[in-house]
Amino acid sequence: MHEKEIEDVLRQLKTSEKGLTAHEAEVRLHRDGYNELSVKTGVNGWKILVQQFSSPLVWILLVAVVISVYLGEYVDAIIIGSILVLNALLGFLQEYKAEKAIEALQKMASPKAKVLRNGKEMRVESRMLVLGDIILLETGDIIPADARVLEVHTLETQEASLTGESFPIDKKTEKLALKTPLAERTNCLYALTIITNGHGRAVITATGMKTEVGKIASLIKESTPGLTPLQQKLHELGKQLTLAVIVIALIIFVTGVVQGRNASEMFLTTLALAVAAIPEGLPAVITISLGLGVQKMVKRRALVRKLPSVETLGSVNVICSDKTGTLTHNEMTVTKVWTDDQQYSFSGSGYEAKGEVFLNGTTIDPILIQMLLKIGVQCNNTVLEWENKKRNAIGDPTEAALLISGEKGGIHRATVERIEQRVDEIPFTSERKMMTTLHRVDGKIVSYTKGAPEVVLNFCDKILLNGKVRRLDGELRKTILQQNMQFAQDALRVLAFSYNENIKKETAEKNMIFVGLQAMIDPPRKEAIEAIKRCQSAGIRTIMITGDQRATAEAIAKQLGMKGITITGQELDLMANLEQKIDEIDVFARVNPEHKLRIIEALQQRGYVVAMTGDGVNDAPALKKADIGVAMGITGTDVAKEASDMILTDDNFATIVNAVEEGRAIFDNIRKFVNYLLSSNLGEIILIFLATLLGMPLPITAIQLLWVNLVTDGLPAVALAFDPAEQGIMKRKPRAAKENILSKKLSENIVVLGFLMGGLTLLLFWLYRDSSLMKAQTIAFTTIVVLEIVRLQVIRSEYQLSFFSNWYLVGAVLSSLGLQMLVLYTPLNKFFDVVPLHIFDWLVIGGIGAALLLFNCMVRRFLGREKK
């Protein structure tokens, strides 16, 4: 509708400037439905619950439960079953809550709206509004539906939550070109944005799901997030283990039967070995690792809504960040002023009145520029209020910035208004582009004016320089305009200020005295600048996505240290092969929600793991589509929070870097556990397999295998989740997106150590062959337990962690050894078919453990030299 004349819009909507009749409104309501966002319904709880058991790893665990019950190992069955139920419940609850974004959009709707019905003004519920309704709007109103402007009186809106544009939008009634981008449609109003100044009338052109915010709701519903990298890796690992367990079990069983062994004994041993090969502790350790990560992140001011998100952040190599309110404050700040033919700068940012005034890098007394600052404070209709220990602007953010620059210079509105009481006002209009207020000072009337520099300058014939009024000659005018252009080139929004003395309202804006310029911007957060540097050192790209104009986006990007090229939404529309050029682009300006989705999809097609930060309604679809969505907790809308995986409670971009560090540490701990578990289990498999092939008696019985499995997969494995992060973890490059938990290097490590552990244990079993079979099996049984504990430190040494850096692990190891002693030296030994060991036996087993440690040290030293 933005490309049509007002008369054509009204004709197409079959309405008039007097509004609809109540009857016609009711007819349209029945035809088009309520002005509300539809909620996704029909969630099948049973279906979600069944889906929790669709993983191959879960299938293995179910088989393990059956095997354990068959063998009479009810404790094992209960433990494994409990793990299954815990993980199923966790996944169920996460999925069941995942689709609340649309409900959050509903909550944001304005409950009441002013509308013309039967030619009279009345209030109705916003959900009852229909196409063709004429709505009346004023400062502070939340716009209830999309509309075409009919009449404006200094009407301005804040559309940052929808378009990302941080400046207030001055609304007009004139028609625009058909291809005008959403953020530049100055004759349109959008649902859930806010009137920041003035008043006006508009005709509703779209309601409910057909509004721009409704289209976003549709995108959220259509955007289906895929599996997280961790889920993908576990899925792949589960399939590999399923195949491996089946093949190994069949080979061992068939080999034993062919050799003439007891089929029943081989069957039980094969089943026990299968249970031993199954990492039933894996889901528990992952849940605990991620849970611990969540607790740590809460302390670091990040609230994780979905457990896998912690690990996903650890593999992120691109962060797409919304500019407004994320990399910047979403609070306009005066950074530079020009007066007395000098350029001054302000420190500080946002609506906190902390900062100083500088001239050529030196702090100066702000009394030198007080006249300029006083005009900005007095010619002002915005109010700053404290809420939840934070200052908020009610009105125009530009005027809020002027109040703050005044306070930094010692000019407080409450104080100056008592001395210079306002008596009248000439309001700002888009045609005049300036505003004037009149004040009584010592019995005389003084006027203060602010506005567009080129406009204000035309009404001035004098200038205030160093406290004296001089004639404004051509050379000074040229200097002022050049300074204005310089500020504009730095993407600063510039206002000019002037005054008049002893005048009437009719002459207030004639022959004024020019004072100076104030230039402002929504500045980058200091912590965001540092965070981007840390991201760069960690091999992570940062991409800015904003609805702001190119010049503003490029200026902010430069301050943030981003060096890639910038393209606009219009250029993006003409680009057919974005995924081929995405590596060169750091800044996207003037974009809409569909563009954000396309950018993320292009990055994902290139193999990137993408995090998206944002706070507005317009960010929600991209937050949901990204590998991990990060919403702002303070400034973020409910929509953004519900669509996200993680919420930053301090709105601090730097917190994301902390989350990346935590995610990397968690993945390291998961990989340590997988390494430990599989190499230990492989050692058990090699032990049984080699003994079977060599025709030797079984070195370890089924019940002993299950005990080793329970002891080594129990406390020590879980304690690995408490390992601290490796030093310098944030100096590593991110993992490749497709890198499995079982990397080539890790797989080789598991195989070598597995064969070594199995071989050393079989060697001891063979050395004790002249003893009783029970004694030899006891030696093999205990050797496996000791070697698997030694294996813990072998793995941790690769991350340069000492044994005593994790006291939970120390306690777990002592507990496991204690349990083994309990089996050997109490009546339980009859149940496990073992005999007590002598001190010499322990020395032999200890020597084997020392040999494993020595072998590891030699290999690491050799590889270290090779690397050098």
| Calpha distance 765→771 (Å, rounded) | 10
Q: Kindly state the helix (H) or strand (E) to which residue 450 belongs, with its residue range.
A: strand 444-451
Lookup: tokens for 622:
């991209």
Q: For residues 819 and 791, give the distance between their C-alpha atoms in angstroms, rounded to a whole number.
A: 18
Would you state the structure tokens that stand for residue 509, as one six-digit string? 């804006």
Q: Answer yes or no: are the C-beta atoms of 676 and 655 closer than 8 Å.
A: no
Scored b (16 or more CB within 10 A) or e, 378-417 reads bbbbbebeeeeeebebebbbbbbbbbbbbbbbebebeebe
In the structure encoding, which two tokens stand for residue 135, read together? Answer: 């709505």
Q: List the structure tokens of 818.
A: 């204690």
Coil vs helix vs strand at 154: strand
Q: Token pair of 240, please? A: 């590999």
DSSP 363: E
Catalytic site residue from 76, 146, 322, 645: 322
Cα torsion angle, 762, 764, 770, 771, sign? negative
CA–CA separation, 181 and 173 (whole Å):
16
Cα–Cα distance measured from residue 368 to residue 431, given in angstroms and rounded to the nearest whole number? 33
- Count the Cβ atoms, other than its own, within 10 Å of residue 350: 21
Q: Identify whether the C-beta of residue 573 lies closer than 8 Å to the C-beta of residue 349.
A: no
3-state class percentages of the chain: helix first, strand second, coil last, to nearest 5: 55, 20, 30
Report the C-alpha gap between 787 and 680 in whole angstroms. Answer: 8
- For the beta carbon of residue 69, count every other beta carbon within 10 angstroms: 15
Would you say 713 and 279 are in contact if contact means Cβ atoms under 8 Å apart? Answer: yes
Answer for the pair 52, 92: CB distance below 8 angstroms, yes or no.
Answer: yes
Distance CA 760, CA 753 (A): 10
Residue 579 and residue 603: Cα distance in Å, rounded? 6
Nearest to 58 by CA among 92, 88, 93, 90: 88
* Angle value at C-alpha 798, between 797 and 802, nearest 5 degrees: 25
Q: What is the DSSP string of 88-153?
A: HHHHHHHHHHTT-HHHHHHHTS-SEEEEEETTEEEEEEGGG--TT-EEEEETTPBP-SEEEEEEEE
801 in helix, strand or coil? coil
Q: Would you call 244 helix, strand, or coil by DSSP?
A: helix
Closest CA to 796 of 697, 619, 672, 686: 672
Strand ranges, E, within 270-389? 302-304, 318-322, 333-339, 342-346, 357-359, 362-363, 383-387
What are the DSSP E strand ranges found in 522-584?
541-545, 565-568
**Kind and range of the H or E element at 632?**
strand 628-632
Closest listed residue to residue 211, CA positions, set 155, 115, 154, 129: 129
Per the CB < 8 A criterion, the answer to whether 718 and 285 are in contact is: yes
To the query of whether residue 322 is one of the catalytic residues in this protein, the response is yes
Distance CA 307, CA 287 (A): 8
Spatial separation of the C-alpha atoms in residues 744 and 756, rounded to whole Å: 18
Whether 621 and 637 have beta carbons less than 8 Å apart is answered as no
Beta carbons of 162 and 212 less than 8 angstroms apart = yes
Catalytically active residues are 322
